[in-house]
Structures are given as C-alpha cells and as structure tokens.
Amino acid sequence: MKIIVNGEPADTRAGTLADLLAELGLTGAMVATALNGAMVRAVKREATAISDGDRVEILAPMQGG
C-alpha cells in the first residue's frame, strides 16, 4: 500500500497507525500523529486504520523560537 509519511511517498504493510509507527521504529517514541490533516491521539492509534493514499504526519519535539 502506498501512503505519504511526513510528505514522502512510502510503501507500507501496516494496517493501523500503531503498526506504521512500529514499522518505522517509533513505538514508544515521543511523537504526535495526524492522519489526513486531523490529529490522532496516541490512545486512538491502534484503532485507526490507514488506507492507500493516506497522508500521515509524525511530529516530535524540535528546536523552536
């Protein structure tokens, strides 16, 4: 399945957002997630299915002013 992760095309076999984070080695990491422009809370990731063409954003703390 082809999706967009953080603006880049990606191939995934993940069925849910939680699976996708596991595929990326980000299980347990301090990240916030959004699917197609809407935030998905951490507790909802396992129940959130991803589909072909979805846009996923995975954000982490970063330097800022």
In the complex with another protein, which residue's Cβ is closer, 15 or 26? Answer: 26
Total residue length of the chain: 65
Min dist. Cβ of residue 5 to another protein (A): 9
> For the CA atoms of 41, 19, 38, 1, what is the dihedral angle to 10 degrees?
-170
47 binds another protein (CB under 8 A): no
* Whole-number Å distance between alpha carbons of 27 and 48: 15
In the complex with another protein, which residue's Cβ is closer, 8 or 52? Answer: 8
1-40: contacts with another protein (CB under 8 A): 6-7, 24-26, 29-34, 37-39
